[in-house]
Amino acid sequence: MGVNLRGRSFLKILDFTPQEVRYLLDLAKNFKDLKRSGTPHKYLEGKNIVLLFEKTSTRTRCSFEVAGMDLGCGVTYLDPGSSQMGKKESIADTARVLGRMYDGIEYRGFSQELVEDLSKYSGVPVWNGLTDQFHPTQMLADLLTIEEKLGHLKGVKFTFMGDARNNMGNSLMVACAKMGLHFTACAPKELFPEEWLVETCRKLAEESGGSVTLTEDVTEGTKDADVIYTDIWVSMGEPDSVWEERIRLLKKYQVNNEVMANAKPEAIFMHCLPSFHDTKTTIGAEIAEKFGVNEMEVTDEVFESKQSVVFDEAENRMHTIKAVIYATLC
């Protein structure tokens, strides 16, 4: 049976079948070809979308803006200081107002419940641009990048190193389990994903031929991996006070030459970005001064190496987000 996502929200990968994810990846590949060949694809002229960001963003915001405009949509961006949402107006009321004006709503913020509520009340497709729990549009870009670089998804040995109980660790575990990859979270026990999600993913992996492993052992967790993936150690919305503890917990899970040498020779390095791989950012410089750590989740050498595909991955955010907008609004 054909896949039809018209009118659906895109809130988490758990809501989608492997066939639906496959459909979105294939659609993204088509849009990438159209963009590369300079072929216009304003298939959604007359539609309008609104982007709500309660947290900062470069890739997600720009991807939604460019994708929306390439498709011919009108695009409105609302930043944390320029809407009534949350302060003077409830999410339910905001959603019902925006649903009267826009054909689709992107939301980046804190709780997953909130984006689920937006979808419930607005009456139009809502796209999750990142919550504390999940980052589903990033998953499509990551799967597309893996497929482009390695030629397939099923059977790929994928290792996530770092804060495995946050939006990225959670989402990657779900995406890998759905699509038949072998997922390993290589992290300290304190930062393992929640038990219910691990169990859910293990069931999904049984169906897809993938697997889910949790380990604290870096050598075991990265051995013969096809993909080594990491994320920043302290995420948006977390207080500065957690830095010290997080550095203590995650220092040995840094992606460095030793880790990459333990993976397959042709392994790729991935990161959702932004990344603290040097001290050329305000926070990077502050952390270096305070804790004496010049490179955090990944060394500059690995980040800049031939194995690193982080900028291809970033570009794929736009093509995959375009697929999501089109598939749900067409």
Question: What are the E-state strand segments in 43-100?
Answer: 48-53, 74-78
Q: Is residue 272 within the footprint of ligand NVA (CB under 6 A)?
A: yes
Instruction: Reduce the DSSP state of residue 122 to 3 states and report it.
Output: helix
Stretch that binds ligand CP, among 26-34, 56-64, 75-83, 213-221 (CB under 6 A): 56-64
Alpha-carbon separation of residue 151 from 144, 146, 147, 260, 320 (angstroms): 10, 7, 5, 20, 17
**Among ligand NVA, ligand CP, none, what does residue 231 contact (CB within 5–8 Å per kind)?**
ligand NVA
Whichever of 130 and 250 has its CB closer to ligand CP, that residue is 130
Spatial distance between the Cα atoms of 69 and 118, rounded to a whole number of angstroms: 23
Q: Which residue has the tokens 């809130």?
A: 11
Instruction: Figure out which of the listed residues 20, 27, 57, 174 binds ligand CP, where binding follows CB under 6 A.
Output: 57
Q: How many CB atoms lie within 10 A of CB 260?
A: 23
Contact 271, 232 (CB under 8 A): no
Instruction: Reduce the DSSP state of residue 182 to 3 states and report it.
Output: strand
Least distance to ligand CP, CB of residue 323, Å: 16
Whichever of 170 and 222 has its CB closer to ligand NVA, that residue is 170
Instruction: Clarify whether 108 is annotated catalytic.
Output: yes
Question: 92-131 burial, b if ≥16 CB within 10 A, otherwise e?
Answer: eebbeebbeebbbbbbbbbebebbbbbbebbebbbbbbbb
Instruction: Figure out which of the listed residues 175, 232, 298, 324 binds ligand NVA, where binding follows CB under 6 A.
Output: 232
Instruction: Figure out which of the listed residues 161, 164, 168, 197 binds ligand NVA, where binding follows CB under 6 A.
Output: 168
Least distance to ligand NVA, CB of residue 143, Å: 16
| DSSP-assigned beta bridge partners for residue 126 | 105
Least distance to ligand CP, CB of residue 122, Å: 22
Spatial distance between the Cα atoms of 143 and 177, rounded to a whole number of angstroms: 12
Spatial distance between the Cα atoms of 138 and 217, rounded to a whole number of angstroms: 27
Least distance to ligand NVA, CB of residue 300, Å: 19
Spatial distance between the Cα atoms of 162 and 292, rounded to a whole number of angstroms: 19
Q: Is residue 59 within the footprint of ligand CP (CB under 6 A)?
A: yes
Spatial distance between the Cα atoms of 166 and 235, rounded to a whole number of angstroms: 8
Instruction: Clarify whether 312 is annotated catalytic.
Output: no
Q: Which positions from 110 through 149 interact with ligand NVA, judged by CB under 6 A?
A: 130
Least distance to ligand CP, CB of residue 289, Å: 24
Options 186, 231, 246, 271, the catalytic residue: 231
**Among ligand CP, ligand NVA, none, what does residue 168 contact (CB within 5–8 Å per kind)?**
ligand NVA
Q: Which positions from 102 through 141 interact with ligand CP, judged by CB under 6 A?
A: 130, 138
Least distance to ligand NVA, CB of residue 162, Å: 9
Binding interface with ligand NVA (CB under 6 A): 130, 166-168, 231-232, 235-236, 272
Active-site residue list: 108, 135, 138, 231, 272, 317
Binding interface with ligand CP (CB under 6 A): 57-60, 130, 138, 272-273
